[in-house]
Chain A
Amino acid sequence: MVTCNNISLDQKDIAIETRDLNIYYGSKHAIKNLSMQIKKLDITAFIGPSGCGKSTYLRALNRMNDLIPITKTTGKILFDGININDKNVDLATIRQKIGMVWQKPNPFNKSIYENIVFALKYYGIRQKQILDEIVEDSLRKVALWDEVKDRLHKSALALSGGQQQRLCIARAIATKPEILLLDEPTSALDPISSGKIEELLFELKQDYTIIIVTHNMQQAGRISSYTAFFLLGDLIEYDETNVIFTNPVVDKTNDYIMGRFG
């Protein structure tokens, strides 16, 4: 398999890194020897046809694959200087620092306010004033504050799909994470809502490292600085986004970008 990984970063610029990561679903080898470094405070996009392992790899980064009993993950995931692919790490801490947002908005059946403070209570934050501040701050960061400030205690389920997705992002950043993992966050939304989320991510990269899985080439091209192309569990090509889109080294990358498969 021809592969090309041109991204080698200084240690201080790496938000998270995997070394020889292998993920299996039972006997199915879903991620193969994947080594890559993710740039801090920037946006990295994962592209590739359905079933190539983008979500599987993404979920490994905050150990969400642990929830699927048949998975086995070998290799190293280095985050903040430690290998978090280790049974002794505290999952709550990892997941607080590495947040996640899915394709389908999944707010809890609670008020907007309760959605955002949900996790904070587990970290021992109880003073109302601090919680209020975090709620406002998180909602402002996702540009939702003005739309919902008068109905913070109303059900989150009454929001539109795009608003719900922004709420889910706000909920994820309320725990002050370092990294946000986004698995096709706009593919269930209308173009206007998607556009808003894209703008938002562009803002958020000042404070957070963002990894986004997307099926939308234009989206990857517009917002990301780095792009990784996956195929059948392999990292085929990883480079700066403009290189991937204008001058890819591997033929398969080119075929995919040109829409010849997937």
Chain B
Amino acid sequence: MLSIIIITVITYFIASKGLSTFFKNGINLFDFLFGTQWKPEHDTTPLFGAFPFIFGSFSVTILAVLLSTPLSVGAAIFMAEISPKWGAKFLQPVIELLIGIPSVVYGFIGLSIIVPFIRNTFGGMGFSLASGMIVLAIMILPTITSVSYDALKSLPSGLKDASYALGATRWQTIYRVLIPTALPNILTGIVLGMARAFGEALAVQMVIGNVQRLPSSILDSVSTLTSILTLEMSNTIAGTTYNNALWSMALILLLMSFVFIMIIRILGKGSKLNER
């Protein structure tokens, strides 16, 4: 009950500030969402095109998930099916520990290992979309692994027996029975990871370079909604168009988190139907 009140208040607060950009300050919604020029402090013609940051947030998130998912699901399969002894005794505690590590630590690892690695291997600054992708992929790996592992572990053992007894090999059993059956829960893990990546500010900001334009390759430096918010919010004065435009970005983040929650709910319903 309390949480509903808090969520409502937060939503109201962010929405009222975020929407006033368009209703009070007269910024065109379309220009905000798809404009590529972010010049909020220009004396004569300030521009509030947030597309580079929206694009940055989505691209770094999607790339991180694409990189992390095969690794995480592979790790979960290894832990649950290939080497259950190792999985339960050693890997599971490690994964749980990794989930609890604060994101600044991941950012620091990115800064001291990944950024130089990208710089030395591919040239350029190293502060890039690619670095952000790798840092986020590492950061969400334990989340996706852990949820997928639980999903595989909680399958009824009869399924596996049935598959083997029909002559299927271990891989056929994993690919044709275990993964499809655990899929709704594995997808939930992926969406949880995606939500965490999309909302992450600090670790991303430390490695992506925060250049405010559209990247032309993954080695380019970018900004995300979160990085712009944390970097610029304190420099602005409440009530100005600039400040409200930042709130509009916060509103996008909030709406996206609602979307993630909704997807997780829908997946949850799907997996309940499968329960026996």
The answer to whether A106 and B167 have CB atoms under 8 Å apart is no
B162, B163, B181: the one contacting A168 at CB < 8 Å is: B162
Identify which of A36-44, A89-97, A127-135 touches chain B: A89-97
- Collect the chain B residues with CB atoms within 8 Å of residue A104's CB: 156, 158
- Collect the chain A residues with CB atoms within 8 Å of residue B180's CB: 109-110
Q: Assuming the A-B contacts A122-B172, A171-B166, A175-B166, are A108 and B161 also in contact, with contact meaning beta carbons closer than 8 angstroms in the complex?
A: no
Contact mask for chain B residues 159-182; partner A; CB cutoff 8 A; 1 contact, 0 none = 111111111110010001100110
Q: Does A100 contact B (CB under 8 A)?
A: yes
Q: Does B276 contact A (CB under 8 A)?
A: yes
- Number of A-B pairs, beta carbon distance below 8 Å: 66
The answer to whether A122 and B168 have CB atoms under 8 Å apart is yes
- Collect the chain B residues with CB atoms within 8 Å of residue A99's CB: 165-166
- Collect the chain A residues with CB atoms within 8 Å of residue B172's CB: 122
Within the complex, the shortest CB–CB distance from B180 to chain A, in Å, comes to 7
- Collect the chain B residues with CB atoms within 8 Å of residue A95's CB: 164-167
Secondary structure of the B side of the interface? Answer: helix
- Collect the chain B residues with CB atoms within 8 Å of residue A93's CB: 167
Within the complex, the shortest CB–CB distance from A110 to chain B, in Å, comes to 7
- Interchain CA distance A67-B274 in the complex, whole Å: 25
Question: Looking at chain A, what size class is its interface with the partner chain?
Answer: 20 to 34
The answer to whether A118 and B166 have CB atoms under 8 Å apart is yes
Within the complex, the shortest CB–CB distance from B172 to chain A, in Å, comes to 7
B161, B169, B176, B177: the one contacting A102 at CB < 8 Å is: B161
- Collect the chain A residues with CB atoms within 8 Å of residue B161's CB: 64, 67, 100, 102, 106
In the complex, the chain A residue whose C-beta lies closest to that of B183 is A109
The answer to whether A102 and B158 have CB atoms under 8 Å apart is yes
Within the complex, the shortest CB–CB distance from A16 to chain B, in Å, comes to 15
Contact mask for chain A residues 49-83; partner B; CB cutoff 8 A; 1 contact, 0 none = 00000000000001010010000000000000000
The answer to whether B181 and A64 have CB atoms under 8 Å apart is no
Within the complex, the shortest CB–CB distance from A248 to chain B, in Å, comes to 32
- Interchain CA distance A100-B161 in the complex, whole Å: 9
- Collect the chain A residues with CB atoms within 8 Å of residue B156's CB: 104, 106
The answer to whether B158 and A118 have CB atoms under 8 Å apart is no
In the complex, the chain B residue whose C-beta lies closest to that of A183 is B161
A62, A109, A119: the one contacting B168 at CB < 8 Å is: A119
Question: Looking at chain B, what size class is its interface with the partner chain?
Answer: 20 to 34
The answer to whether B276 and A157 have CB atoms under 8 Å apart is yes
Q: Does A172 contact B (CB under 8 A)?
A: yes
- Interchain CA distance A122-B177 in the complex, whole Å: 14
The answer to whether B168 and A106 have CB atoms under 8 Å apart is no
In the complex, the chain B residue whose C-beta lies closest to that of A158 is B273
- Collect the chain A residues with CB atoms within 8 Å of residue B166's CB: 95-96, 99, 118-119, 122, 171-172, 175
The answer to whether A91 and B181 have CB atoms under 8 Å apart is no
The answer to whether B177 and A108 have CB atoms under 8 Å apart is yes
The answer to whether B169 and A106 have CB atoms under 8 Å apart is no
The answer to whether B158 and A109 have CB atoms under 8 Å apart is no
Contact mask for chain A residues 97-116; partner B; CB cutoff 8 A; 1 contact, 0 none = 00110101011111000000
- Collect the chain B residues with CB atoms within 8 Å of residue A106's CB: 156, 158-159, 161-162
- Interchain CA distance A255-B180 in the complex, whole Å: 48
- Collect the chain A residues with CB atoms within 8 Å of residue B160's CB: 67
Within the complex, the shortest CB–CB distance from A124 to chain B, in Å, comes to 12
In the complex, the chain B residue whose C-beta lies closest to that of A91 is B167
Q: Which of B139-195 contact A (CB under 8 A)?
A: 156, 158-169, 172, 176-177, 180-181
Among A96, A109, A118, A119, which residue has the most Cβ atoms of chain B within 10 A? Answer: A109
A109, A110, A122: the one contacting B167 at CB < 8 Å is: A122
The answer to whether A108 and B167 have CB atoms under 8 Å apart is no
Within the complex, the shortest CB–CB distance from A169 to chain B, in Å, comes to 12
- Interchain CA distance A96-B159 in the complex, whole Å: 17
- Interchain CA distance A67-B158 in the complex, whole Å: 12
Contact mask for chain A residues 139-163; partner B; CB cutoff 8 A; 1 contact, 0 none = 0000000000000000001000000
- Interchain CA distance A95-B162 in the complex, whole Å: 11
- Interchain CA distance A91-B166 in the complex, whole Å: 10
Within the complex, the shortest CB–CB distance from A95 to chain B, in Å, comes to 4
The answer to whether B165 and A109 have CB atoms under 8 Å apart is no
- Collect the chain A residues with CB atoms within 8 Å of residue B159's CB: 106, 108-109
Q: Assuming the A-B contacts A67-B164, A95-B165, are A157 and B274 also in contact, with contact meaning beta carbons closer than 8 angstroms in the complex?
A: yes
- Collect the chain A residues with CB atoms within 8 Å of residue B177's CB: 108
Q: Assuming the A-B contacts A109-B274, A110-B180, are A119 and B167 also in contact, with contact meaning beta carbons closer than 8 angstroms in the complex?
A: yes
Q: A95-B166, A123-B167 are in contact. List 6 more A-B contacts (CB 8 A).
A: A67-B164, A91-B167, A95-B165, A109-B181, A168-B162, A172-B165
- Chosen A-B contacts, 16 in total, with CB atoms closer than 8 Å, are A94-B167, A95-B165, A96-B166, A99-B165, A99-B166, A104-B156, A106-B159, A106-B162, A107-B162, A108-B163, A109-B180, A109-B274, A118-B176, A122-B168, A171-B166, A175-B167
